[in-house]
Amino acid sequence: DTEVTQTPKHLVMGMTNKKSLKCEQHMGHRAMYWYKQKAKKPPELMFVYSYEKLSINESVPSRFSPECPNSSLLNLHLHALQPEDSALYLCASSQDRAGNEKLFFGSGTQLSVL
C-alpha cells in the first residue's frame, strides 16, 4: 500500500463552520505533512509531524489546528476560515526526516470558503 488517502475530496464551508480534513497512510511512515496549494502556485508547507509530535508550524493562523492521533492519521481542524483560505490542501508522508524526503502525496482536499 503506497497510498496517502485524504477525505473529503471537496469541501465547501461558511466562515462560521467547523470542519476537519483527514489523512491516512499505512506505509509505516513516521513523518506527515500538511501543505496548502493555491491555483498555479507550488505547495506551501503548513505543518510537519515527526513521530507524532509537531515539529514545524510555519506561522500558520490558529484557525488551522493540526492533530496527529496516531502514526497513521493526520487531521486538520478548520474553524472560522476566511475566503482567502480557499485552496487545495495536500497531505503527504515520508519515511522520516533524515534527509531523503521522498514525499508521498494524497490527492488533496479542494476547499472553498464562502
Partner 1 sequence: GEDVEQSLFLSVREGDSSVINCTYTDSSSTYLYWYKQEPGAGLQLLTYIFSNMDMKQDQRLTVLLNKKDKHLSLRIADTQTGDSAIYFCAESAGGAGSYQLTFGKGTKLSVIP
> Under rule CB under 8 A, how many of the chain's residues touch partner 1?
26
Report in angstroms the alpha-carbon separations of 54 from 2, 14, 22, 78, 111. 23, 28, 16, 17, 23
Q: Beta 64-70 vs 73-79: how paired, if at all? A: antiparallel
The residue (of 5 and 82) whose beta carbon lies closer to partner 1 is 5
Which of positions 29-48 make contact with partner 1 (CB under 8 A)?
40-43, 45, 48
In the set 17, 20, 50, 71, which binds partner 1 (CB under 8 A)?
50
Q: How far is the CB of 80 from partner 1 (least distance, A)?
A: 26
Q: Where are the beta strands (DSSP E) in 1-114?
A: 4-7, 10-13, 18-25, 31-37, 44-50, 53-57, 64-70, 73-79, 87-94, 104-105, 109-113
Which of positions 52-111 make contact with partner 1 (CB under 8 A)?
55-56, 90, 92, 97-108, 110
- Interacting residues with partner 1 (CB under 8 A): 4, 6, 40-43, 45, 48, 50, 55-56, 90, 92, 97-108, 110
